[in-house]
Chain A
Amino acid sequence: METTTVFLVLVLLTVISFFMGRKRSHAVVSGRGGARALHSLPKHYGYMAALWALLPSVLVLVLWLVFEHGILAHLVVSQLPSSVGQMSASEQGLYFNQIVSFASGGTDASQLDPAQVIAADHYRALVASSRTVKALLVFLVALLGAALALRRIRPNLRARNHVEGILKWILFACSFLAVLTTLGIVLSVLFEAIRFFHAISITDFLFGLEWSPQMAIRADQVAASGSFGFVPLLVGTLLISAVAMVIAVPVGLMSAIYLSEYASRGFRSVTKPVLEILAGVPTVVYGFFAALTVAPFIRSLGETLGLHVASESALAAGLVMGIMIIPFVMSLSDDIINAVPDTLREASLGMGATMNETIRKVLLPAALPGIVGGILLAVSRAIGETMIVVMAAGLSAKLTINPLEAVTTITVQIVTLLVGDQEFDNPKTLAAFALGLVLFFVTLMLNVIALYVVRKYREQYE
């Protein structure tokens, strides 16, 4: 049976268990004053039976699906001739994939050796029996669960508390998913990164000044030996982020100050949502804008000034990224400036200071920690931004701080290393995970510091 069919039957079984549970609850009190003699409402007994039928069987189904492939592969490979056992891991994988694709009717037998054809039959038989066993096991568990629940139904069984206890655990599991996601990110990135550091030493990676990940994948290929120095990528990333900040911070901060301190209510209520459209524009759109409109414009502008500008200059990518971040800086600064108590404002104005003196000498110093925190959050967003730089920044890793030249960033390299061919045993693809690890930790540090600073700042005025 297909997994979807199994699941649908399971849902049906659950619904049936609900009605059986409800009926049974009526039955156990039929001679003793009806439903009023029950501790809980009849439907709660139904829910209980349904949960007992559904949860364990879904667990079994999920576990089966997770481990099915690995176990089948192991069973098939163990039956293969011993010559296969001497192959390398990737050859073995290819050999096995040929069997699977033949078994599902993908390739024809002429490309395979006889052992593979036999193995394919074996595999097909195993898949068929796995399907049957899976369906039977899942249904058995469901029926068993429902039967157990039904047997337990008594008038004094606290079914509502029981059901609510289970549901509370489910709610907890949902929120615990956030922790699991973080753990998943850290482990998956860390695991592959460690494999990378087996091939390339960690100091070469962190302090190397050259990045050229082209490596010979096969022995007969002519290619550079590949060097994985991370510094040019870091400098490129920081350069583009710095250009973005030069645009976003003054514009965002001044807009926030103007809108919160000077602008009329009507002007503010129109302007803010319009500027926030900039935050809702997908990054791929900014990338397109940067690559096809801004970059050629800056290039031709540079030419009229007699400057040499690369066609994928850091300036173009940074400028557009700055535009994207303006609303982010604006709304963060707006929150923070509004959190400064009015008493400070009024005291300063009462002493005869003009509004701009109040802002510059009282409000901004008071809000400074919060604003710095906000800017750090914006920097972390700029560092992690992908599509703009993938489309508008270069690929060659040049160690420069001239914004008119083409540089590359961490995210660009992750994308270029992973899109396309995927062999998970060469340092080229594993390098992407090492970069991902660095990216994750850099942005994590920035976020933790920023959130801490912002929270401290808020507490100060509460």
Chain B
Amino acid sequence: MSKQGSNKASAAIQASLKKRYARERRFQWYGRMAVLIGFVFLFILLADIVSKGLPAFTQQYIRVSVNLDPAMTGLQPGASQEQIYGADYLGAIKSSLREMFPEASSRNDKKALYRLLSIGAEYTLRDKVLEDPGLIGHTTEIWLRAHAEAGSYLKGQVSADTPESDRKVKDQQMAWLDQLRAQGRTESRFNTTFFTQGDSREPEMAGIKVALYGSFFTLLVTFAIAFPIGVSAAVYLEEFAPRNRLTDLIEININNLAAVPSIVFGLLGLAVFINFFELPRSAPVVGGIVLSLMTLPTIIITSRAAIQAVSPSIRQAALGVGASKLQTVVHHVLPVAMPGILTGSIIGMAQALGESAPLLMIGMVAFIMDPPAGITDPATVLPVQIYLWADSPERGFTEKTSAAIMVLMGFLILMNGLAVYLRRHFERK
């Protein structure tokens, strides 16, 4: 009977095994799916941004022959620097456009025609004349920046199939642009403007220079404050702090600050540094202080881990030959822990570079065209510039936003790569 019973049981087990193995396989597939979903999200995110942002690195130019006739610009050969500066180049450009396309006669047609070129075209021409005053009175061929909308047609982003009312580039403009292209009067170049200009209302003239400068100055302040203070705090807590209530309080505070939402640091900056201490708004110095308070916990926690990892034998050896506690730490423990501390600091800096919410609070959202000269000049930073451009509905700005994101991500990858390199390089020794 017992044999029969155990046979029965083993039959039941055999029968259930198939089910259990199937469940096991299913479970493994759930796991693979979860990892895959993460990969797919990452891929879509990156692909979306790169595909949107790549076209922003090229800028379309249109070659126009401009007649710098004295009758048109009011400039005589031998004009002074000041006269050249104040002359009417827009008129000259407009008249040469009309000459090229005489069929544009109505007011609206002319307006559409002028919109082929960037609003900044007249300044390009002015700069060229300033450089070479000999051009005055002659007809000259010059490459001028295309308007963002015309440029996007030339890049092939606008399809003629969409109804005319749904696109910014009208049929007439498309015909003109096709004609220009057939004559070899259009050209696509690397977009240097994007790196050499500040913000602008026109997508084709907007650049990230101010944001890059602002991010640099802000990070400089952040590092100058957060690194020394963070390392000192870590040294104190690891090497000197007595075990008492006060030390516990400090540790609890550091752990909690690491999880406080970044926007709350922005409120602190607004209430304390801007309203109470009356530091300048929109300035990298305030941004840097706020971000350093935000990154301090990260730096302290990673530095403590690095100091903890230093072998006690090094400490004991130094103390044994008569070094004081502080000498032991400064001369022996810190140099060994430095790669780990630097890794943590770089990660903290990368976090600060990508942060924007607290900076919105302290007014780093201004429209700024000129790069800051120091830490007290108004500036904006790369992530905030991205936020500002993301609000603009024009296609040109969507493109610029994605391109700025690519630059930002490039810096972040560089910083994290450096951190990983440091860790690997010094781990081997």
Residues of A within 8 A of B (CB): 66, 69, 160-161, 164, 167-168, 170-172, 174-179, 181-182, 184-185, 188-189, 191-192, 250-255, 257-259, 262-263, 271, 274-275, 277-278, 280-289, 291-293, 323, 326-327, 330, 354-357, 359-360, 377, 380-381, 383-387, 390-391, 411, 414-415, 418-419, 424, 432-433, 436, 439-440, 443-444, 447-448, 451
User: In this assembly, does B142 line the interface, its C-beta being within 8 Å of a C-beta of chain A?
Assistant: no
Q: What's the least CB distance linking B352 to chain A, in Å?
A: 10
Q: Are B45 and A282 in contact, CB atoms less than 8 angstroms apart? A: no
Q: Are B20 and A354 in contact, CB atoms less than 8 angstroms apart? A: yes
State which of A168, A177, A258, A424 has its C-beta within 8 Å of the C-beta of B326: A168
Q: What's the least CB distance linking B342 to chain A, in Å?
A: 18
User: In this assembly, does B309 line the interface, its C-beta being within 8 Å of a C-beta of chain A?
Assistant: no
Q: Tell me, in angstroms, the Cα distance from A19 to B115 when the chains sit together.
A: 69
Q: Give the chain B neighbours of A66 by CB distance below 8 A.
A: 277
Q: Give the chain B neighbours of A451 by CB distance below 8 A.
A: 255
Q: What's the least CB distance linking A255 to chain B, in Å?
A: 4
Q: Mark B195-234, 1 if CB is under 8 A from A, else 0.
A: 0000000000000000000000000000000001110111
Q: Give the chain A neighbours of B236 by CB distance below 8 A.
A: 168, 171-172, 174-175
Q: What's the least CB distance linking A207 to chain B, in Å?
A: 24
What are 7 contact pairs spanning A and B, CB under 8 A? A174-B228, A189-B264, A257-B31, A275-B42, A285-B405, A356-B28, A414-B361
Which residue of B is nearest A442, CB measured?
B261
A254 and B386 contact, Cβ closer than 8 Å, known pairs A185-B260, A274-B42, A285-B409: no
Q: Give the contact-size bracket for chain B.
A: 35 or more
Q: Are B263 and A439 in contact, CB atoms less than 8 angstroms apart? A: yes
Q: Tell me, in angstroms, the Cα distance from A391 to B356 when the chains sit together.
A: 12
Q: Give the chain B neighbours of A179 by CB distance below 8 A.
A: 249-250, 253
Q: Are A258 and B229 in contact, CB atoms less than 8 angstroms apart? A: no
A356 and B34 contact, Cβ closer than 8 Å, known pairs A171-B232, A440-B260: no
Q: Mark B19-34, 1 if CB is under 8 A from A, else 0.
A: 0110110011011111
Q: Are B35 and A271 in contact, CB atoms less than 8 angstroms apart? A: yes
Q: What's the least CB distance linking A180 to chain B, in Å?
A: 9
Q: Give the chain A neighbours of B20 by CB distance below 8 A.
A: 354, 357
Q: What's the least CB distance linking B205 to chain A, in Å?
A: 21
- Residue with the greatest number of chain B CB neighbours at <10 A, chosen from A168, A175, A181, A433: A175
Q: Are A283 and B34 in contact, CB atoms less than 8 angstroms apart? A: no
Q: What's the least CB distance linking A86 to chain B, in Å?
A: 25
State which of A176, A251, A289, A444 has its C-beta within 8 Å of the C-beta of B260: A444
Q: Tell me, in angstroms, the Cα distance from A122 to B332 when the chains sit together.
A: 57
Q: Are A185 and B34 in contact, CB atoms less than 8 angstroms apart? A: no
Q: What's the least CB distance linking B56 to chain A, in Å?
A: 14
Q: Give the chain A neighbours of B350 by CB distance below 8 A.
A: 280
Which residue of A is nearest B48, CB measured?
A293
Q: Are A278 and B38 in contact, CB atoms less than 8 angstroms apart? A: yes
Residues of B within 8 A of A (CB): 20-21, 23-24, 27-28, 30-35, 37-39, 41-42, 45, 48-49, 52, 228-230, 232-237, 240-241, 249-250, 253-257, 259-265, 267-268, 270-272, 275-278, 293, 296-297, 300, 324-326, 350, 353-357, 360-361, 363, 365, 383-384, 386-387, 390, 398, 401-402, 405, 408-409, 412, 416
Q: Are B42 and A387 in contact, CB atoms less than 8 angstroms apart? A: no
Q: Are A281 and B409 in contact, CB atoms less than 8 angstroms apart? A: yes
Q: Give the chain A neighbours of B365 by CB distance below 8 A.
A: 419
A274 and B39 contact, Cβ closer than 8 Å, known pairs A66-B277, A288-B405, A356-B27: yes
Q: Are B408 and A177 in contact, CB atoms less than 8 angstroms apart? A: no
Q: Are A254 and B41 in contact, CB atoms less than 8 angstroms apart? A: no
Q: Are A184 and B229 in contact, CB atoms less than 8 angstroms apart? A: no
Q: What's the least CB distance linking B242 to chain A, in Å?
A: 10
Q: Sort A-B residue pairs by CB-CB distance and give the 5 closest, nearest first.
A: A384-B261, A258-B31, A282-B354, A254-B34, A188-B271
State which of B24, B30, B268 has its C-beta within 8 Å of the C-beta of A184: B268
A439 and B264 contact, Cβ closer than 8 Å, known pairs A171-B233, A177-B296, A444-B256: yes
Q: Tell me, in angstroms, the Cα distance from A347 to B8 when the chains sit together.
A: 26
Q: Tell me, in angstroms, the Cα distance from A384 to B265 when the chains sit together.
A: 11
State which of A188, A257, A386 has its C-beta within 8 Å of the C-beta of B357: A386
Q: What's the least CB distance linking A361 to chain B, in Å?
A: 12
Q: Give the chain A neighbours of B235 by CB distance below 8 A.
A: 171
Q: Tell me, in angstroms, the Cα distance from A287 to B250 when the chains sit together.
A: 34
Q: Are A278 and B405 in contact, CB atoms less than 8 angstroms apart? A: no
Q: Are B296 and A182 in contact, CB atoms less than 8 angstroms apart? A: no
Q: Give the chain B neighbours of A330 by CB distance below 8 A.
A: 38
State which of A255, A432, A444 has its C-beta within 8 Å of the C-beta of B35: A255
State which of A164, A281, A360, A380 has its C-beta within 8 Å of the C-beta of B45: A281
Q: Are A414 and B300 in contact, CB atoms less than 8 angstroms apart? A: no
Q: Are B38 and A251 in contact, CB atoms less than 8 angstroms apart? A: yes
State which of B234, B261, B384 has its C-beta within 8 Å of the C-beta of A385: B261
Q: What's the least CB distance linking A303 to chain B, in Å?
A: 17
Q: What's the least CB distance linking A456 to chain B, in Å?
A: 15
Q: Are B264 and A285 in contact, CB atoms less than 8 angstroms apart? A: no
State which of A175, A185, A283, A432 has its C-beta within 8 Å of the C-beta of B250: A175
Q: Give the chain B neighbours of A288 by CB distance below 8 A.
A: 49, 386, 390, 401-402, 405
Q: Are B412 and A282 in contact, CB atoms less than 8 angstroms apart? A: yes
Q: Give the chain B neighbours of A387 by CB distance below 8 A.
A: 356-357, 383, 387
Q: Give the chain A neighbours of B276 by CB distance below 8 A.
A: 188
A175 and B241 contact, Cβ closer than 8 Å, known pairs A181-B257, A282-B408: yes
- Residue with the greatest number of chain A CB neighbours at <10 A, chosen from B45, B228, B384: B45
Which residue of A is nearest B33, CB measured?
A254
Q: Give the chain B neighbours of A176 by CB distance below 8 A.
A: 250
Which residue of A is nearest B265, CB measured?
A185
Q: Are B240 and A278 in contact, CB atoms less than 8 angstroms apart? A: no
Which residue of B is nearest A380, CB measured?
B259
Which residue of B is nearest A167, CB measured?
B326
A418 and B361 contact, Cβ closer than 8 Å, known pairs A178-B297, A289-B48: yes
Q: Are A178 and B250 in contact, CB atoms less than 8 angstroms apart? A: yes
Q: Are A448 and B256 in contact, CB atoms less than 8 angstroms apart? A: yes
Q: Give the chain B neighbours of A258 by CB distance below 8 A.
A: 28, 30-32, 34-35
Q: Are A356 and B42 in contact, CB atoms less than 8 angstroms apart? A: no
State which of B261, B297, B326, B387 has its C-beta within 8 Å of the C-beta of A383: B261
- Residue with the greatest number of chain B CB neighbours at <10 A, chosen from A170, A381, A447: A447
A178 and B233 contact, Cβ closer than 8 Å, known pairs A168-B326, A292-B398: yes
Q: Tell me, in angstroms, the Cα distance from A245 to B398 when the chains sit together.
A: 29
State which of A177, A251, A277, A377 has its C-beta within 8 Å of the C-beta of B37: A251
Q: Are A354 and B34 in contact, CB atoms less than 8 angstroms apart? A: no
Q: Give the chain A neighbours of B21 by CB distance below 8 A.
A: 354
Q: Are A356 and B261 in contact, CB atoms less than 8 angstroms apart? A: no
Q: Give the chain A neighbours of B32 by CB distance below 8 A.
A: 258
Q: Give the chain A neighbours of B42 by CB distance below 8 A.
A: 274-275, 277-278
Q: Tell me, in angstroms, the Cα distance from A69 to B280 when the chains sit together.
A: 13
Q: Are B34 and A414 in contact, CB atoms less than 8 angstroms apart? A: no
Which residue of B is nearest A256, CB measured?
B34
Q: Are A355 and B24 in contact, CB atoms less than 8 angstroms apart? A: yes
State which of B300, B363, B387 has its C-beta within 8 Å of the C-beta of A391: B387
Q: Are A171 and B240 in contact, CB atoms less than 8 angstroms apart? A: yes
- Residue with the greatest number of chain A CB neighbours at <10 A, chosen from B21, B48, B267, B300: B267
Q: Tell me, in angstroms, the Cα distance from A440 to B266 when the chains sit together.
A: 12
